[in-house]
Each structure stands twice: as C-alpha cells, then as structure tokens.
Amino acid sequence: MNWKGFVAGLTVFLPLASGTAAMAQPAASTDSRWSVAAGIGFDNSISGNINSSGIGTIENQAVVITKNSYEDVYGTGLHLMFGGGYMLNDSTEAIGTFTFQSLDADLTPMGDIGISRLYGQYTDYQTLSLDLGLRRYTNLSSRVRAYGEGTIGIGFVDKTDVTLVAPTANLNRKANDFYDQTAAWTLGGNVGVLFQTSPKVGVFGQLGFHWVSGMAEIDGLVGTGLDTINDHSARTTIPFLMGVRFRL
C-alpha cells in the first residue's frame, strides 16, 4: 500500500472531518480536563540494523553477510496513534498513547554463499507500544498552539523470521524466530501544532522521534559463526502524524 499517498489524502480529510464535528455539536462547556486524540502518518528509520555483518558457514559453504539497516529492508512504514490526556494546568498535559507501527519487507541482498549471491526475505515488522509522558503548550494565537512532548513506555515487537535463498547454491533456508517476540523499552519526543476548530475539537500535525530497544535473539544460526548478526536491532524513527483531538 502507498502509505504516503494515503496520509496525503488525510491531510485534506481531517480538517473537513473536524469542522463537520464542530458544526454538529451544540455549544458546550470546556471545563473538562480530559481529552482523546487519534492520528495517522508514516515514519522513516534513521538508525538501527535488522542484521549486522558476519562471516560463517551454512551447509558447509562459506558465507559472508553484509549489514542491512531497517531503511534498507523496510523503508517507510505506517504509524498509528490513539490516546488520551489530562490537563494538569493551562499549559501542561499528562498524556498516554498507544502507538502501532507496521512495515512491509522487501527482498534484500544479504551477501554471498560460495559462488552464489545470498538473498533474504524478512517477515513484516510490527510493534505496539504504550507510551506515557508530558506535553507543554504555548499559545501562538487565540486558536493555534504549539507544543512539545516527551514520552517513555514499553513496546511489544512481533517475532521476525527471515528466509535465506541462494539460487546458484540451491539453498532455501528459513531461520524461524530470527528475532523472538519481544517486550522492549521505548522513548519518544515530538513537536507539533494544534489548531482549535472549536472549543472541543482541534486538528494537529507533529514531527518527532521514536526509539525502540533491541529485539530478543532466538535464531537457527547457532554454530554457523553468524550468531551475532542480530545483535544491534534497536530502531530509531522519525514519525510524522496528522490527527484530531477531542476535548471531553
């Protein structure tokens, strides 16, 4: 799916949707400190390797594995956010969000085995995290506020398999649980702008970073000399999101 095109369409839809919601609701008190928000966008990896380099043997053949970053294998991925907040005062909000990331893998050159090129097909990368933090607002105008936020949390990363294929060497080998299902630490930070379309409804856009610690290593490469190629799997991304925030 073309996530960038999908998100671009939402840049038109979200302001219209929030404006419709604002017209549909009667005038209401804004005394409530609670809010909910949802956003969608994409993220680009800026650091982290889905596999590191290594030299070893597979089926009695010499193997050279070259490093592949998350960007090499997965490229740009889908980023979804849903959460809520509680205003501690006029400028500070405690927030809690669920973040879902999903990336489709491309067939990836992995190196060489014997006289053959070696390729890898990874399964999709998916994480669901719960992040807690604080957000600070500053007024730009009566309807527009800028904000910055920092979060910390825990993420759950699906297991990742890889199928290694070398056509000339007649090799087709699947490394089950190249990374096992993992509970990982997350850190995040964002800056954004919130445009208040009504006392209770606003649309926002934000840009930031999101870090997920390394995944648990359980693979079928033990004893091949390639045991360490999944040692550096922490991932940092730059997510861009657009969404809607509702004051309850």
Backbone angles phi, psi at 57, to 5 degrees: -135, 145
Q: Would you say residue 9 has pLDDT above 70?
A: no
Residue 218's pLDDT is 60
pLDDT digits (tens, 9 = 90+) for 140-170: 999 999 999 999 999 999 988 888 899 888 8
Tokens matching residue 61 = 């053949």
- Single out the residue of 156, 163, 159 nearest to residue 180, CA to CA: 159
Q: What is the DSSP letter of 170?
A: T
Confidence bin at 182 (pLDDT 50/70/90): confident
pTM of the model: 0.79
Structure confidence at residue 59 (pLDDT): 79
Closest by alpha carbon to 235, among 32, 99, 38?
99
Place of tokens 């089926």: 59
Determine the pLDDT at residue 228. Answer: 79
SS3 232: coil
Is residue 84 within 8 A of residue 37, CB to CB? The reply is: yes
**Measured between alpha carbons, how far is 163 from 125 in angstroms, rounded to an integer?**
14
Joined tokens for residue 231: 């040692």
Whole-number Å distance between alpha carbons of 202 and 185: 30
245 or 57, greater pLDDT = 245
Q: State the Cα–Cα distance between residues 98 and 128, nearest whole angstrom.
A: 7
Say if residue 106's pLDDT is above 70: yes
Q: How far apart are CA 210 and CA 19, in angstroms?
A: 30
User: Which of helix, strand or coil describes residue 16?
Assistant: helix
130 or 115: whose pLDDT is higher? 130
* pLDDT exceeds cutoff 50 at 189: yes
* Average pLDDT estimate for 8-21: 45
How does the average pLDDT of the chain come out, rounded? 85
* DSSP-assigned beta bridge partners for residue 42: 78, 240
Main-chain dihedrals φ then ψ at residue 19, nearest 5 degrees = -65, -40
pLDDT digits (tens, 9 = 90+) for 57-97: 887 888 999 999 999 999 889 999 999 999 999 999 999 99
CATH fold of the domain at 3-22+34-247: Porin (2.40.160)
CB 74 within 8 A of CB 103: yes
Q: What is the pLDDT of residue 58?
A: 81
From the list 3, 175, 12, 11, the residue with the least C-alpha distance to 103 is: 3
Distance from C-alpha of 199 to C-alpha of 206, rounded to nearest angstrom: 20
Nearest one of 71, 188, 90, 196 to 137, comparing CA atoms: 90
Q: What mean pLDDT do residues 40-49 have?
A: 92
**pLDDT at residue 195, as a whole number:** 97
Q: What whole-number distance in Å separates Cα of residue 132 and Cα of residue 10?
A: 26
Q: What is the pLDDT of residue 70?
A: 92
